[in-house]
Homo-oligomer: A and B are copies of this chain.
Amino acid sequence: MSWQITRDDLADLARGATLLGTGGGGDPYIGMMLVQGVLGDGAITILDPDEIADDLFVIPTAQMGAPTVMIEKIPAGTEPTLSLRILEEHLGRTADATMPIECGGINSMIPLIVAAETGLPVVDADGMGRAFPELSMETFAVYGVHGSPLALAGERGERVIIDTGDDDRQMEWLARAVTIRLGGVGHIAEYAMTGADVKRTAVPRTLSMALALGRAIRVAREEKRSPFDAIQDTLATTLYQHVRTLFEGKVVDVDRRTTEGFAKGVARIAPADGGAGELEIRFQNENLIALRDGDMVAIVPDLICVVDGDSAEPITTEGLRYGQRVRVLGISTPEMMRTPAALAAFGPDAFGLTESFSPVELLASGEVRPTAASTLVH
């Protein structure tokens, strides 16, 4: 069933998308303001992926770049739709809908800007099921839909088309170079596909999941209920079944650099009461691995989310500050994101990590490697 997003939904969506950004993905609140600007009192139609026509022509839209740059370099606002138009012209075919390639962070919002400007509907699905730092890290690619040709629009009207055939990593490599020279941010349209492709290759209903998570956290706070329970109850209705509290404490160290177009670094969290034990999180735009006293308790592609210790407000890696009281959640990804092919595209090895993937629900429950941090959320 199709449904609609209005301006009243955007703050909740931004909150949920920040959670699914797992520390990165770019700030959806900037995207939210851009959507508000073009949407006004209108509404955006969201299509359920199970119900779209097999021949629906979908062109996903997104922003690429380092989140640390995106905060300082707010887009002019015309680039997202320009990227779609460039790809339409190149392909000689107009889109019937747009879609996120990434449901976490600002890329939950970019397709809404395009939709509000063009009147196109948005398919409720994406290719990352969270946020990832590279364009090749897509379930689309894993299951046979490739990113090329990619269209890239710059803030001064630059138009770039990149076609690397089936080689999505080369596409990422070249598009990243252009993005860096555009000042760190570029707007892209890529992974054009049919409705049948969406059903086969996309992670379904992740836009509605982001909205539901953000809304559940807010409503729980308003009703003085636990927002952590609300997160767990919401995820129980999705393909993201398992939630674990990996650690509670305060931020004691953040080492972050913006290098080669990425925000890379390490954050450390220690018990607020000064007790023993520490959680280390390593990130490349997104949180990649969490180690408690040296023992892995969660690893990509499972979600490692840092949230405020009381309100459960999600905190990005740019938002991490010394002394913040936080809770770190581990959330399981759907099975289609854990297959050998999926792990080859966006598992630990794709990020240069030497650790192998283990499901967070096994790691953090102690079934694989018990740790003192392993407790269920509440």
CB-CB under 8 A from A173, the residues of chain B are: 181
Contacting B at CB under 8 A, from A138-170, are: 149, 156-165, 167, 170
Q: Is A180 an interface residue (CB 8 A)?
A: yes
Min Cβ gap A232→B in Å is: 44
CB-CB under 8 A from A376, the residues of chain B are: none
Q: Is A178 an interface residue (CB 8 A)?
A: yes
Q: Is A174 an interface residue (CB 8 A)?
A: yes
Q: Is A372 an interface residue (CB 8 A)?
A: no
Q: Is A341 an interface residue (CB 8 A)?
A: no
- B170 and A158 contact, CB distance less than 8 A: yes
Q: Which residue of B lies closest to A151 (CB)?
A: B161
Contacting B at CB under 8 A, from A160-215, are: 160-165, 167, 170, 173-174, 177-178, 180-182
CB-CB under 8 A from A149, the residues of chain B are: 159
- A174 and B178 contact, CB distance less than 8 A: yes
Instruction: Compute how far the CA of A163 lies from the CA of B161 in the bound complex, rounded to whole angstroms.
Output: 9
- B167 and A156 contact, CB distance less than 8 A: yes
Instruction: Compute how far the CA of A173 lies from the CA of B181 in the bound complex, rounded to whole angstroms.
Output: 7
Max chain B C-beta neighbours (<10 A), residue from A90, A149, A167, A174? A174
- A160 and B174 contact, CB distance less than 8 A: yes
Instruction: Compute how far the CA of A253 lies from the CA of B134 in the bound complex, rounded to whole angstroms.
Output: 45
Min Cβ gap A161→B in Å is: 4
Given known pairs A174-B178, A180-B177, A181-B174, the reply for A163 and B165 (CB within 8 Å) is no
Count of identical protomers in the assembly: 2
A 9-26 to B, binary, CB cutoff 8 A, 1 in contact else 0: 000000000000000000
Q: Choose from B157, B160, B174 the contact partner of A165 (Cβ within 8 Å).
A: B157
Instruction: Compute how far the CA of A158 lies from the CA of B180 in the bound complex, rounded to whole angstroms.
Output: 19
CB-CB under 8 A from A161, the residues of chain B are: 90, 159-161
A 112-146 to B, binary, CB cutoff 8 A, 1 in contact else 0: 00000000000000000000000000000000000
Min Cβ gap A71→B in Å is: 23
Instruction: Compute how far the CA of A162 lies from the CA of B167 in the bound complex, rounded to whole angstroms.
Output: 19
Min Cβ gap A151→B in Å is: 9
Q: Which residue of B lies closest to A160 (CB)?
A: B162
CB-CB under 8 A from A160, the residues of chain B are: 160-163, 174
Q: Which residue of B lies closest to A162 (CB)?
A: B160
Min Cβ gap A53→B in Å is: 29
Instruction: Compute how far the CA of A295 lies from the CA of B340 in the bound complex, rounded to whole angstroms.
Output: 67
Instruction: Compute how far the CA of A167 lies from the CA of B161 in the bound complex, rounded to whole angstroms.
Output: 17
Q: Choose from B156, B158, B167, B177 the contact partner of A181 (Cβ within 8 Å).
A: B177
CB-CB under 8 A from A159, the residues of chain B are: 149, 161-164
CB-CB under 8 A from A90, the residues of chain B are: 90, 161
- B158 and A164 contact, CB distance less than 8 A: yes
Would you list 23 pairs from A and B whose C-beta atoms are within 8 A, ordered by A residue?
Answer: A90-B90, A156-B164, A156-B170, A157-B164, A157-B165, A158-B162, A158-B163, A158-B164, A158-B165, A158-B167, A158-B170, A158-B174, A159-B161, A159-B162, A159-B163, A159-B164, A160-B160, A160-B162, A160-B163, A160-B174, A174-B182, A177-B178, A178-B178
**Which residues of A approach B to under 8 Å, CB–CB?**
90, 149, 156-165, 167, 170, 173-174, 177-178, 180-182
Q: Could you list 16 further interchain pairs (A-B, Cβ under 8 angstroms) beyond the known A157-B165, A162-B178?
A: A90-B90, A90-B161, A156-B170, A158-B164, A158-B167, A158-B174, A159-B162, A160-B162, A160-B163, A160-B174, A161-B161, A173-B181, A177-B177, A177-B180, A177-B181, A178-B178
